[in-house]
């Protein structure tokens, strides 16, 4: 922030923004008295932020107005929340206090502002990021509107993030991806979630973002007329059936397309659900059909017009998502051969989908809750249970909440037909503990769909589960290997608390001794690499796994070589700085491979294996070692979200020709005689690239697999992907994780 006298243009900017907000707020205010409170909050904040500017040079007051605009338009909150959004920075950034707010605006608005001020204070703290998020999430136990307004604040900060220095931008984007985006998803705020995802991709992988965005725009331009032709018969049929409805068209976002390409290893052309339409209809209270039945009625109409893909049917009307989302999804084949996703919702379902938690509470207060609203209450109770555990440290809690936010649910049934919702990946033992603690602790086996299975059997939606117990049954240490739910893990962990501490101490001592024997220090950098190599969520999990023998240290030497790439000195040869002047980094910035003896030691992260040319972020551990990650690496997002002050900005220098990095390319295509020879010839002879592993298999005329290579830079990798894509019969070539 900075201070400088406002001019006429500044006052006009503030006035125009306020007029737009006032028009939106009027629709949410029940009477003139409520609107007057919003006006008073604007006047008070405008006076408090007078002559204050943001980094962009704009009047600071435009920020709280924009946050309030998101609160009313995207979330649908009422006048107290709009007022609190306008006032949310007053206490932190000016001489006014919470008591001043309470005196002018009453207790509830003062409490909201106080909660937002505390969140801002902890987020701006240089360290203890995990502890900060714990405090934020604890506001869910007080007034969920604080978190909703904070999401609006975070969205606007993301919209203006280009004005931030790069290291702070990376920290904010990592926080956003790790906790705020999943939180927005769980609270049903899809418009906020998708916009933050697109901003994250635009700054983390700008080239990928622009490439996908341009492809989407080109596809929309080419197929716009076809979409209109596709919708017309549906409109006519629904009108004849007597439905009152509207149809909205939706195009998949750049992030959504990019994420699908990355996770599925597919090309843009293989993203067949690029297009979607939403059928939003008003339920007929006079109809004998229930709300759910009317959704199925529309489904029968549209599938009578177009062929649908049975395996893509998603019935979130019968089994709502845990964030309250209800809809019936099906994928139809258009006359031109394009697959189109069709989402069928009632008006109430659409309100929940668009406004999330705010709409949930409105319907709850009016006694018109749907099935999805109860699921949302159940999720909130689960989060409160996690937050209330005094024995969980902040880092563990952040991981638990992150896992809960990002894990979808399955729906299983008791022998009596009662439905239970569990996180995807849950086992029969998780189900046992969900029924009752005593049943879980005495469980010895289970029957799933009448078949006897072990307790670690993973459940699927629709399973009917019966738990078999023994009177002398008790928790076993190995249960912690496969339990998923927080409730179950907490019960078992508490049972073994004394033994667990002894196991952790033994595991820590064993690991330190083993590392020392191999010539390594048990510093933070080394332990981070081992966390990634053994795929554990927390350091305590690593020590415990070693202590109880789940992880063997017999192959520690090989693990360390793989996770560190051997000695780190080799990597310094890949850069040849032109001059000392070029090596002078800005604050929080360092040059990878700098010859400066004071430059930090660094290593390349094995979880994402960045190569020169990739956008990268550095994580500087307390011992000073910097680990280089791709900016899109989820491990880096997790660490940056937990320890914001560890984020630094590494810069690649021009690499040496004799230094190479491991990468993997995945291929898929039609098999033919000579295909393997042509692939290897293009890689080895044409591109001059060294292959270290080739794994291709063919079945029924189709081949797929991968090639592990050593390349000097991303530029060479991109050229090779282009060369391989040009081979006749190859359908898809993409970079994938090692």
Whether residue 699 contacts residue 627, with contact meaning beta carbons closer than 8 Å, is answered with no
- Give the tokens for residue 95: 């001489």
Whether residue 642 contacts residue 129, with contact meaning beta carbons closer than 8 Å, is answered with yes
Q: What is the mean pLDDT of residues 280-306?
A: 89
CA of 135: how far to CAs of 335, 358, 639, in Å? 53, 21, 18
Q: Alpha-carbon torsion 604, 609, 611, 617, what sign?
A: negative
Instruction: Give SS3 for 248.
Output: strand
pLDDT tops 50 at residue 126: no
Dist CA 518 CA 715 (whole Å): 37
Q: Specify the residue for token string 């998101």.
A: 70
Contacts for 286 with CB less than 8 Å, ≥ 6 apart: none
Instruction: Give SS3 for 411.
Output: strand
- DSSP letters along 710-737, please? EES-HHHHHHHHHHHHTSTTEEEEEEE-
Whether 32 is a known active-site residue: answer no
Predicted confidence (pLDDT) per residue in 225-244, tens digit: 888 889 999 999 999 999 99
- Give the tokens for residue 203: 């700054």
Kind of pairing between the strands at 328-333 and 339-346: antiparallel
Predicted confidence (pLDDT) per residue in 179-192, tens digit: 788 888 777 788 89
- With cut-offs at 50, 70 and 90, classify the pLDDT of residue 658: low
| Residue percentage of the chain with pLDDT more than 70 | 82
Count of CA atoms in the C-beta half-sphere (13 A) of 227: 20
Name which residue leads in pLDDT, 555 or 381.
555
- With cut-offs at 50, 70 and 90, classify the pLDDT of residue 622: confident
Least confident of 27-36, 177-186, 253-262: 177-186
- Give the tokens for residue 423: 């996180």
Q: Which residues pair with 668 in a beta bridge?
A: 704, 732
Least confident of 10-14, 69-73, 114-118, 214-218: 114-118
SS3 content of the chain, % helix, strand, coil (to 5): 55, 15, 30
pLDDT tops 90 at residue 92: no
pLDDT tops 50 at residue 581: no
Task: Write down the catalytic residue from 58, 73, 93, 512.
Answer: 93
Domains contained in the chain, CATH given: 2-163 (1.10.3210.10), 206-373 (3.30.460.10), 389-495 (3.10.20.30), 498-564 (no CATH), 568-651 (no CATH), 661-736 (3.30.70.260)
| pLDDT number for residue 557 | 81
| pLDDT number for residue 625 | 80
Query: How far is Cα of residue 277 from the mean position of the Cα atoms in its chain?
Result: 24
Q: Which of 77-91, 413-427, 627-641 is most confident?
A: 77-91
Contacts for 463 with CB less than 8 Å, ≥ 6 apart: 412, 413, 448, 449
pLDDT tops 60 at residue 665: yes
Name which residue leads in pLDDT, 431 or 645.
431
- pTM as predicted: 0.70
Dist CA 663 CA 711 (whole Å): 7
Whether residue 187 contacts residue 357, with contact meaning beta carbons closer than 8 Å, is answered with yes
Q: In what order do the strands lie in the sheet with 647-651?
A: 589-591, 647-651, 616-620, 626-630, 602-604
Name which residue leads in pLDDT, 685 or 275.
275
Q: How high does pLDDT run on average in the chain?
A: 81
pLDDT tops 80 at residue 715: yes
Kind of pairing between the strands at 730-736 and 661-670: antiparallel
Least confident of 151-160, 249-258, 421-430, 677-686: 677-686
pLDDT tops 60 at residue 682: yes
Q: What is the mean pLDDT of residues 587-615?
A: 74
Q: Which of 407, 403, 401 is nearest to 421 (CA)?
A: 407
| pLDDT number for residue 574 | 36
Whether residue 360 contacts residue 373, with contact meaning beta carbons closer than 8 Å, is answered with yes
Whether 93 is a known active-site residue: answer yes
- Give the tokens for residue 462: 């629709």
| pLDDT number for residue 603 | 80
| pLDDT number for residue 420 | 81
Contacts for 166 with CB less than 8 Å, ≥ 6 apart: 588, 589, 649
Least confident of 221-230, 405-414, 436-445: 405-414
Least confident of 261-270, 395-404, 436-445, 451-460: 395-404
Count of CA atoms in the C-beta half-sphere (13 A) of 604: 25
- Give the tokens for residue 375: 């699921």
pLDDT tops 60 at residue 426: yes
Task: Write down the catalytic residue from 58, 92, 671, 678.
Answer: 92
Whether residue 280 contacts residue 345, with contact meaning beta carbons closer than 8 Å, is answered with yes
Contacts for 433 with CB less than 8 Å, ≥ 6 apart: 439, 440, 441, 483, 485, 487, 488, 491
pLDDT tops 60 at residue 81: yes
Q: What is the mean pLDDT of residues 310-330?
A: 82
| pLDDT number for residue 295 | 93
- Give the tokens for residue 640: 């940056």
Q: Which of 74, 69, 83 is nearest to 39 (CA)?
A: 83
Q: Alpha-carbon torsion 573, 653, 254, 156, what sign?
A: positive
Instruction: Give SS3 for 84.
Output: helix
Q: What is the mean pLDDT of residues 99-127?
A: 77
What DSSP state is assigned to residue 205?
S
| pLDDT number for residue 584 | 40
Whether residue 281 contacts residue 292, with contact meaning beta carbons closer than 8 Å, is answered with no
Name which residue leads in pLDDT, 685 or 94.
94
Q: Which of 659, 666, 678 is nearest to 604 (CA)?
A: 659
């Amino acid at each position: 922030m900075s201070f400088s006298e406002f001019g006429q243009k500044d006052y006009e900017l503030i006035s125009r923004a306020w007029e737009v907000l006032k028009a939106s707020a009027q629709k949410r205010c029940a009477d003139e008295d409520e609107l007057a409170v919003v006006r008073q909050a604007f006047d008070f904040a405008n006076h408090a932020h007078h002559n204050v500017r943001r980094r962009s040079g704009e009047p600071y007051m435009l920020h709280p107005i924009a946050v309030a605009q998101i609160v009313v338009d995207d979330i649908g909150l009422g006048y107290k929340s709009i007022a609190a959004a306008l006032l949310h920075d007053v206490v932190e950034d000016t001489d006014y206090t919470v008591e001043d707010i309470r005196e002018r605006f009453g207790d509830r608005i003062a409490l909201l502002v106080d909660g937002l001020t505390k969140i801002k204070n902890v987020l701006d703290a240089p360290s203890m990021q995990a502890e900060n998020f714990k405090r934020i999430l604890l506001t869910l136990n007080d007034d969920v509107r604080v978190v909703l307004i904070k999401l609006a604040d975070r969205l606007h900060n993301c919209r203006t993030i280009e004005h931030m220095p790069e290291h702070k931008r990376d920290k904010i984007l990592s926080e956003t991806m790790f906790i705020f985006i999943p939180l927005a998803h769980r609270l049903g705020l899809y418009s906020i979630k998708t916009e933050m995802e697109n901003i994250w991709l635009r700054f983390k992988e700008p080239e990928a973002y622009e490439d996908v965005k341009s492809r989407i725009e080109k596809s929309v331009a080419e197929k716009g007329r076809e979409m209109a032709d596709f919708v017309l018969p549906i409109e006519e049929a629904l009108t004849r059936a007597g439905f009152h409805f509207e149809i909205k068209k939706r195009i998949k976002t750049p992030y959504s397309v990019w994420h699908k390409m990355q996770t599925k290893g597919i090309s843009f052309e293989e993203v067949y659900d690029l297009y979607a339409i939403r059928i939003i209809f008003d339920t007929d209270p006079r109809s004998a059909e229930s709300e759910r039945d009317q959704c199925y009625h529309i489904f029968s109409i549209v599938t009578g017009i177009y062929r649908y893909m049975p395996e893509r049917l998603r019935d979130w009307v019968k089994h709502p998502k845990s964030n309250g989302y209800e809809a019936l999804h099906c994928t139809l084949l258009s006359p031109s051969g394009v697959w189109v996703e069709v989402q069928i919702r009632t008006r109430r379902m659409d309100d929940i989908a668009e406004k999330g938690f705010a709409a949930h509470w409105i319907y709850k207060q009016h006694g018109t809750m749907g099935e999805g609203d109860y699921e949302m209450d159940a999720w909130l109770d689960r989060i409160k249970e996690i937050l209330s555990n005094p024995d969980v440290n902040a880092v563990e809690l952040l991981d638990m909440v992150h896992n809960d936010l990002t894990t979808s649910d399955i729906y299983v049934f008791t022998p009596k037909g009662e439905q239970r919702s569990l996180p995807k990946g849950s086992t029969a033992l998780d189900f046992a503990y969900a029924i009752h603690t005593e049943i879980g602790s005495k469980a010895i086996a289970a029957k799933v769909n009448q078949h006897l299975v072990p307790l670690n059997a993973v459940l699927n939606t629709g399973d009917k589960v019966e738990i078999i117990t023994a009177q002398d049954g008790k928790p076993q240490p190995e249960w912690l290997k496969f339990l998923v739910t927080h409730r179950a893990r907490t019960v078992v962990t508490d049972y073994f608390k004394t033994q667990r501490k002894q196991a952790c101490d033994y595991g820590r001592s064993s690991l330190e001794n083993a590392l020392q024997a191999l010539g390594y220090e048990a510093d933070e950098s080394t332990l981070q690499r081992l966390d990634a190599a053994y795929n554990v969520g927390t350091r305590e999990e690593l020590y415990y796994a070693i202590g109880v023998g789940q992880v063997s240290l017999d192959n520690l030497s090989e693990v360390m070589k793989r996770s560190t790439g051997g000695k780190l000195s080799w990597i310094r040869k890949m850069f040849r700085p032109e001059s000392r002047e070029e090596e002078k980094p800005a604050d929080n910035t360092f040059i990878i491979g700098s010859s400066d003896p004071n430059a930090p030691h660094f290593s390349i992260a094995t979880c994402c294996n960045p190569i020169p040319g990739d956008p990268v972020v550095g994580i500087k551990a307390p011992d000073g070692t910097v680990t280089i990650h791709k900016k899109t690496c989820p491990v880096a997002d997790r660490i940056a979200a937990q320890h914001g002050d560890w984020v630094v900005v590494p810069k690649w220098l021009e690499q040496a020709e004799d230094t190479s990095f491991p990468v993997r390319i995945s291929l898929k295509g039609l098999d033919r005689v000579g295909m393997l020879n042509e692939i290897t010839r293009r890689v080895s002879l044409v591109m001059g690239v060294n292959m270290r592993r080739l794994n291709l298999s063919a079945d029924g005329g189709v081949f797929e697999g991968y090639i592990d290579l050593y390349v000097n830079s991303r530029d060479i990798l991109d050229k090779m992907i282009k060369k391989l894509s040009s081979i006749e019969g190859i359908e898809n070539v993409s970079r994938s994780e090692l």
